[in-house]
């Protein structure tokens, strides 16, 4: 049985349908990312799964528990990393991680966890003296220390510097390899592309797409050919191309569903004239392109 099953989930705040008939499952050891613009319903969905919020309709099962009624027995099996956890500021990092470890029946070694999140040098520092990114790492340590079977990560790397973000990705990859099921929310499409086995895109409470990042990108037909217009030539001099040609100053981009043919026509044209096409690139759409299309399509 899938560790996370969500069926027809609904939650309203007055007239606002924050979550509107959302269904998905997350498989054992899968990293599943919930994406969507501000206010799309991601946090509400995750908080219902964590047992922190009630629902108005639908079925939810996490590790066989209904989070609404699972209580302490349920919470011992999950780990939660919230966007803004409030801590006791006067504790040291090591004290707080040890304290949290005490809440769980089979905790991980607090010292190892502190080291794993890159806070070894700060283990004796008071929480109030940590930087924003260091606090987020502490959040992560507190989510991990109970050896969770399902880990919820709400925007886990917001505020991280690039090196810390890559370090966190490695950590999450390692947890997945160890069989932890992970449900995360993020606004970083590169993070979703890197980490997630599957993503679900929410907009205004509704699920508008679900699948692996590669599958979602594969559904996007056009590639983009881009190059710098050679000196002394104009867009009108270019050969006939199947794609849509647009010039942004000297940079030309061609959105095309026939990249091989258009590339051939362009390079043949340049070779015949003995000119170079500098900055020539061919790119597939990224998850970010697909995401932006999805949320704007759904808006219209
Ligand atoms: N406690 C609340 N009372 C009333 N409305 C709420 C409450 N919590 C959330 N909402 C509304 O529900 C909708 C979904 O909010 P939610 O926080 O789940 O979005 P989100 O996708 O997590 O957004 P963000 O990316 O900004 O974190 C929004 O319209 C929000 O204003």
Tell me the best of 9, 14, 43 to mutate to test the pocket of ligand 1, counting ligand atoms within 8 Å of each CB and taking the most: 43
Q: Whose CA is nearest to atom 5 of ligand 1?
A: 13
User: Does 54 sit in the ligand 1 pocket, CB within 6 Å?
Assistant: no
Bridge-partner residues for 153, per DSSP?
Answer: 81, 184
**Would you kindly state where each structural domain of the chain is located, as residue ranges?**
4-212, 221-283
User: Which architecture characterizes domain 221-283 according to CATH?
Assistant: 2-Layer Sandwich (3.30)
Q: Whose CA is nearest to atom 19 of ligand 1?
A: 39
CA 76 to chain centre: 25
More confident residue, 284 or 190: 190
Residue 186 in this model has a pLDDT that exceeds 60: yes
ipTM: 0.97
How far is ligand 1, taken at its centre, from the CA of residue 57, in Å? 17
Please give the CATH superfamily to which domain 4-212 belongs. Answer: P-loop containing nucleotide triphosphate hydrolases (3.40.50.300)
d(CA 203, CA 210): 12
d(CA 55, CA 117): 33
Nearest atom of ligand 1 to the alpha carbon of 47: 18
How far is ligand 1, taken at its centre, from the CA of residue 155, in Å? 14
Q: Whose CA is nearest to atom 11 of ligand 1?
A: 18
Tens digit of pLDDT for each residue in 128-151? 999 888 888 898 899 999 999 999
Q: Find all residues with CB under 8 Å of 13, minimum gap 6, and list them.
A: none
CA angle 163, 99, 175 (to 5 degrees): 40
Tens digit of pLDDT for each residue in 149-180? 999 998 888 878 898 889 889 989 988 998 99
pTM of this prediction? 0.85
Q: Whose CA is nearest to atom 12 of ligand 1?
A: 18
């Amino acid at each position: 049985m899938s560790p996370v099953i969500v069926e027809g989930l609904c939650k309203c705040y007055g007239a606002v349908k924050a979550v509107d008939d959302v269904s998905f499952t997350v498989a054992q050891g899968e990293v599943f990312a919930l994406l969507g613009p501000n206010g799309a319903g991601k946090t509400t969905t995750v908080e219902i799964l964590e047992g922190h919020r009630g629902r108005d309709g639908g079925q939810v099962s996490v590790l066989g528990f209904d989070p609404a009624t699972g209580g302490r027995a349920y919470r011992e099996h999950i780990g939660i990393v919230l966007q803004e956890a409030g801590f006791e500021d006067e504790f040291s990092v090591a004290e707080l991680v040890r304290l949290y470890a005490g809440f769980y029946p089979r905790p991980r070694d607090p010292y190892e966890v502190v080291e794993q999140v890159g806070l070894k040098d700060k283990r004796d520092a008071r929480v109030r003296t940590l930087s924003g990114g260091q606090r987020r790492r502490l959040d992560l340590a507190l989510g991990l220390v109970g050896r969770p079977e399902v880990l919820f990560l709400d925007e886990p790397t917001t505020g991280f510097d690039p090196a810390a973000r890559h370090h966190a990705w490695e950590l999450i990859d390692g947890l997945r390899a160890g069989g932890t099921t992970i449900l995360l929310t993020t606004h970083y499409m590169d993070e979703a592309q890197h980490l997630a086995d599957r993503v679900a895109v929410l907009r205004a409470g509704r699920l508008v797409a679900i699948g692996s990042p590669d599958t979602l990108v594969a559904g996007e037909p056009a590639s983009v050919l881009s190059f710098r217009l050679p000196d002394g030539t104009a867009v009108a001099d270019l050969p006939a191309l199947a794609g849509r040609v647009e010039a942004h100053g000297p940079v030309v981009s061609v959105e095309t569903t026939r990249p091989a043919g258009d590339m051939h026509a362009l390079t043949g044209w340049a070779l015949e004239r003995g000119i170079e096409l500098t900055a020539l690139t061919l790119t597939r759409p990224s998850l970010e392109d697909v995401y932006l299309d999805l949320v704007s399509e759904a808006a219209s």
